[in-house]
Amino acid sequence: MRSAPAHRLRDSGRLPRALHPIAWWIWAIGLVLAVNRTTNPLLLILTLAVLAFVIANRRTDAPWARAFKYYLWLGLFVIVLRIVFQSVFSQGAEAGDHVLFTLPRISTPKWYAGVQIGGPVTLEATLTAAVDGLRLATMLCCIGAANALANPKRALRVLPGALYELGMAVVVSITLAPQLIESVQRVARARRLRAGRRKGWRVLRSIATPVLADALERSLMLAAAMDSRGYGRTGPATTASRRLTGALMLLGMVGLCAGCYGLLGNGAPRFLGLPAILAGAVLCCGGLALGGRRVKRTNYRPDPWRAPEWVVAGCGVATAVMLYLSTGDDASALNPSFYPLRFPPLPALPMIAILIAGVAAVAAPPPPKPRRLAPSQAGAPSRISEPVTAPKVPA
């Protein structure tokens, strides 16, 4: 039963390997940008279906690859919250609207008359709110898909050298949570096997003490390992170069902030928009490059960027570009109105664009086989005799 999986035999022509994480991120961000252009519920549902299809085909068995369902829950929460707010801050109803129910009106003082609380809740308003929430939920799920498909630890490798301390801290903190959970589970299992159950606050002590000791032990081991590999040395940076790096980064950040304000705010001077953003980006890149020179890193087993990476990233970019191009043609099909109530249309070009994103499910290589069994399959007794996870080869 646990021999070569059948669905991998179909992909026998290709070697299973993990796709470059950046390719998955480009693909997902392209989808986010595409989704941002539309409030058509059919296109949004299609996007969710494409996400599910790609994830089902190409996710690994790592713990983060099971994260997608939490994003789905989060999306559902967003939709519900949006509908609740829409219902509470009612827009009122007109003849021809379909009133679902009426909430009691709370009268607001005259100086606060712009906000109405309570009132009739119409089907039209609820649907509009639901679709608006669905758009945000779909965007969240796109990010969730990237999280499920790409290995976060390997994604941090592409951080510029100047930020390697940051990346290191993130990797350590990402690893911490699974280790803690594993540690808690181990201690709980050991407690179950022992007789004499304690109750109340003592339980906490009997769990917390070994878990904390475990965590401390791990940290010391990690610190020793990192120290022996040369982490934390300052490198050949001079005071002048460090100051120059700091100045470049600060100016660049100021430029980025001013640029965002210029692009988003109304009535801001024209030069604050794109020019400021570009100048800020150039300064930041300069600062990162300068700061990165003091750090010398070697890459152990670098992730290759081959044809599948190009195809997957290209799919995402193509989807975003096609939706941006089609906005002018059928604006009403991309953003259909529910006043009066009618069926949403399904514009052809955006639909094809979203389906193109699904090509990633075939273009990406099959995910690598798990090198060790998942904890749920390993069985409890063997885990206690082997507290440190030993690599297990599938039989």
Partner 1 sequence: MSRTSRRSLAVAVARLLGWAAVAVVGTAAASGVARAAPLSDCSPHSGTIVAVDFAHWGGPLVRGCGLDQHSGYALLHAAGFTTAGDEHDGAGFICRLGDSAFHHGTQYPTASEEACINTPSASAYWSYWLAPAGQDRWTYSSLGPMYDVPKPGEVELWTFGGTNVGGTGGSGVPSLSPDSLRARTSAASEQTTTTTTTTTTPTSTTTTSHTTTTSSSTARTSRRARAPRQRRDTTRRRRHRPSHPSPPRTSTTPIVPAKPTRERASSGSAVPLIIGISLATALLAGAGWVAYRRRRYE
Q: Which CB sits closer to partner 1, 340 or 391?
A: 340
- Residue 349 is a binding residue for partner 1 (CB under 8 A): no
* Binding residue for partner 1, selected from 117, 132, 286, 292, defined by CB under 8 A: 132
Residue type (1 letter), 32: V
Rounded to a whole number of angstroms, the minimum distance from the CB of residue 46 to partner 1 is 5
- Rounded Cα–Cα distance for residues 219 and 212 (Å): 10
Rounded to a whole number of angstroms, the minimum distance from the CB of residue 211 to partner 1 is 28
- Reported for 352-356, long-range contacts at CB under 8 A and 24+ positions apart, including other chains, are 352/322, 353/34, 353/318, 353/319, 353/322, 353/323, 353/326, 354/31, 354/34, 354/43, 354/46, 354/47, 354/50, 354/319, 355/46, 355/50, 356/315, 356/318, 356/319, 356/322
- Residue 127 is a binding residue for partner 1 (CB under 8 A): yes
* Binding residue for partner 1, selected from 12, 102, 332, 389, defined by CB under 8 A: 332
- Residue 72 is a binding residue for partner 1 (CB under 8 A): yes
Q: Is 382 exposed, middle or buried (0-12, 13-18, 19+ CB in 10 A)?
A: exposed
* Strand ranges, E, within 69-182: 99-106, 117-122
* Binding residue for partner 1, selected from 342, 376, 385, 390, defined by CB under 8 A: 342
Q: Which CB sits closer to partner 1, 18 or 131?
A: 131
Residues 6+ positions from 128 with CB-CB distance below 8 Å: 86, 337, 338
> How many amino acids of this chain bind partner 1 (CB under 8 A)?
67
Residues 272-331 that bind partner 1 (CB under 8 A): 328, 331
Residues 97-126 that bind partner 1 (CB under 8 A): 97-98, 110, 113-114, 116, 123-125
For residues 358 to 377, the per-residue mask of contacts with partner 1, x marking binding by CB under 8 A and - elsewhere, is x-----------x-------
Q: Which CB sits closer to partner 1, 13 or 114?
A: 114
Q: Which CB sits closer to partner 1, 293 or 372?
A: 372
- What are phi and psi for residue 118, nearest 5 degrees? 85, 180
Q: Which CB sits closer to partner 1, 104 or 200?
A: 104
Residues 228-267 that bind partner 1 (CB under 8 A): 266-267
Q: Which CB sits closer to partner 1, 212 or 341?
A: 341
Q: Which CB sits closer to partner 1, 113 or 240?
A: 113
Cα of 286 vs its chain's centroid, Å: 28
* Strand ranges, E, within the chain: 99-106, 117-122
Span of 182-190, 289-297, 301-309, 335-343 interacting with partner 1 by CB under 8 A: 335-343
Q: Half-sphere exposure of 391 toward its Cβ, with a 13 Å CA cutoff?
A: 3
Rounded to a whole number of angstroms, the minimum distance from the CB of residue 337 to partner 1 is 6
The neighbour count for residue 185, using CB atoms within 10 Å, is 13
Q: Which CB sits closer to partner 1, 370 or 379?
A: 370
For residues 31 to 70, the per-residue mask of contacts with partner 1, x marking binding by CB under 8 A and - elsewhere, is --------x-xxx-xx-xxx-xx-xxx-x-x---xx-xx-
- Rounded Cα–Cα distance for residues 68 and 52 (Å): 9
144: nearest Cα among 22, 29, 311? 29
- Rounded Cα–Cα distance for residues 130 and 56 (Å): 26
Q: Which CB sits closer to partner 1, 96 or 379?
A: 96
- Rounded Cα–Cα distance for residues 335 and 345 (Å): 10
Q: Is 85 exposed, middle or buried (0-12, 13-18, 19+ CB in 10 A)?
A: exposed
Q: Is 348 exposed, middle or buried (0-12, 13-18, 19+ CB in 10 A)?
A: exposed
- Residue 27 is a binding residue for partner 1 (CB under 8 A): no
Rounded to a whole number of angstroms, the minimum distance from the CB of residue 86 to partner 1 is 7
Positions that interact with partner 1 (CB under 8 A): 1-2, 5-7, 39, 41-43, 45-46, 48-50, 52-53, 55-57, 59, 61, 65-66, 68-69, 72, 76, 86, 91-98, 110, 113-114, 116, 123-125, 127-129, 131-132, 266-267, 328, 331-332, 335, 337, 339-346, 351, 355, 358, 370
